[in-house]
Structure 1
Amino acid sequence: MLKVLIVIMLFISIFSLFRALMAMTKDDKQQQMTRNLGRRVLFSALTLVLIVLALSMGWIEPNPRPY
């Protein structure tokens, strides 16, 4: 369940990034692009905090051998 939540948050972050790209190419209001980029940064930071919290609480385990 936690991994699904992390993936959903990353997809929301990517979606916000593409919405900001569309706002930038259409020359719409600058505020809309800034809001979308702010959401992207917020969801990326929340995802990182969630991953670090889950690792410290033992909810997820890192890969013991990364290669």
Structure 2
Amino acid sequence: MLIKLIIVFLLFYIVFSLFKALFCMLKSDAAANSMSHYLGRRVLFSAIVLMIILLAMLFGIITPNSNPYTVG
């Protein structure tokens, strides 16, 4: 359950970082962080979420849904 909570918080941070990049793009202030800073952070945390999901599936912490088309 803790893994799922961590993944949800990271996904919220990814969306927050995307909106920070949007506001940075619209404001275009030279003194503030650039838009690529926030977009790079979003890509980094997206890769971290993907690795957490893959590792949790590998170790059996989370299980994917079964195929709905199989009989049994």
What is the TM-score of this pair, normalised by structure 2? Answer: 0.84
Q: Between Structure 1 and Structure 2, which shows a larger proportion of helix residues?
A: 1
* Runs of 4+ in structure 1 over 4 Å off: none
Corresponding residue pairs, total = 67
How has the CA–CA distance of structure 1 residues 9 and 66 changed in structure 2, closer, same or farther, with 3 Å as cutoff? farther
- Percent identity of paired positions between Structure 1 and Structure 2: 51
Give the secondary-structure state (helix, strand or coil) at the position aligned to 1:47. Answer: helix
2 CA distance for matches of 1:22 and 1:66? Answer: 41
Unmatched tracts of structure 1, length 5 or more: none
What is the TM-score of this pair, normalised by structure 1? Answer: 0.90
Deviation at 1:9, TM superposition (A): 0.5
Q: What do residues 17-61 of structure 1 show as CA deviations (whole Å, max 9, x unaligned)? A: 000000000112385211100100000000001000000110001
